[in-house]
Amino acid sequence: MAKLSSKKTSQTHRCIIYGAPKTGKSLIAGKLAEHYNLIWFDLENGHETLFQLPEAWQERIELINLPDTRSYPIAIETVLKAVKGKVTICEEHGKVSCMLCKKLGEEKAPVVTVDLPALGHESVVVFDSLTQLSNSAISFITKNQPDDYKLCFDDWGNLGKLLDIFLSHIQQAGYNVIVISHETEAETEGKKKTLVPVGGTRNFSRNIAKYFDHVIYAERKNRKHVFSSSTTYATTILTGSRTGVAIEEGEEPSLLAIFKPELFAKAKAKAKVAGAAGAGVPIQKATSTSAAKASSILNRLKKK
């Protein structure tokens, strides 16, 4: 047995960001490229948003395009292989160890090699989105069925199994992960209707949050993108953070509140020094605007 105090808190984070379409989910994840190398699994061609980022940041994003369709459900196959170990994925088909591309050679058919379990703290893996991954799994399960086929009980069970394999690997991952998803309404304890991230059936969606350290909700309010993560944000929206981060308190919404809390802690220490100088001559002033911003965020957090 180990004492809790001897356990180091995890230096990496597993997040799910969910919400309606066009609520800025991809962009807020993309902004992490200012500080991290991103490996971006794009299942729904959503990467165009990322062109809004400064070019230097775009350089740090490795895009893996998975051209998933009803008749070619490649995403579930490739993603399940990628979370388990080192894989080589072809650009053309998004397929692991693609024989067609191997024949053509790397000159004509470029590939990318990723080893997610071996990633360090300086990388973040993004899966955009879990919604499309579920669709891919459904298409995979019903591959040989006619178009008007209705899923039976066993099919839904298999869908749950595939998603559980993916999410369990995320839950145990030693690297940083962001999974993007959409929203659905599910009944939680006390038959209360609550917004939760979508994945598979409504029943399965109800329990997706348990696989993650941080559950972030994205929405539009007054023409602005708003993100929230504190457990007490709203009674009808599922949110929460293992480390108690409340993104909604920040002036600029940023996932750095989760990924680089030390940036905020430093600002706090600086503000303290400035405050200790008292009414006399200020010894040190927090001059950096970002530090000032962060300390005002922290002050408001304290008041809560």
Q: Which residues bind Zn ion (CB under 5 A)?
A: 90, 92-93, 95, 98, 100-101
Nearer to Zn ion, 74 or 177 (CB): 74
How far apart are alpha carbons 186 and 194 in whole angstroms? 5
Identify whether the C-beta of residue 197 lies closer than 8 Å to the C-beta of residue 130. Answer: yes
Q: Is 253 exposed, middle or buried (0-12, 13-18, 19+ CB in 10 A)?
A: buried
For the chain, what is the total number of helices (H) and then of strands (E)? Answer: 10, 12
Nearer to Zn ion, 98 or 267 (CB): 98
Nearer to Zn ion, 34 or 92 (CB): 92
Nearer to Zn ion, 67 or 117 (CB): 67
Nearest approach in angstroms of CB 76 to Zn ion is 17
Nearest approach in angstroms of CB 71 to Zn ion is 16
How far apart are alpha carbons 36 and 58 in whole angstroms? 11
Whether the ω angle into residue 205 lies within 30 degrees of 0, i.e. cis, is: no
Q: Is 71 exposed, middle or buried (0-12, 13-18, 19+ CB in 10 A)?
A: exposed
Helices 289-303 and 261-276 meet at what angle, rounded to 10? 90
Nearer to Zn ion, 101 or 180 (CB): 101
Nearest approach in angstroms of CB 72 to Zn ion is 11
Nearest approach in angstroms of CB 44 to Zn ion is 20
Alpha helices in 59-212 (DSSP H): 74-82, 99-104, 130-141, 153-172, 202-205
The β-bridge partners of 64 are: 41
Kind of pairing, strands 176-181 and 123-128?
Answer: parallel
Nearest approach in angstroms of CB 95 to Zn ion is 5
Nearest approach in angstroms of CB 93 to Zn ion is 4
How far apart are alpha carbons 215 and 238 in whole angstroms? 7
Nearer to Zn ion, 93 or 268 (CB): 93
Alpha helices in the chain (DSSP H): 25-30, 55-58, 74-82, 99-104, 130-141, 153-172, 202-205, 256-259, 261-276, 289-303
Nearer to Zn ion, 13 or 95 (CB): 95
Nearest approach in angstroms of CB 136 to Zn ion is 17
The β-bridge partners of 114 are: 87
Nearest approach in angstroms of CB 141 to Zn ion is 23
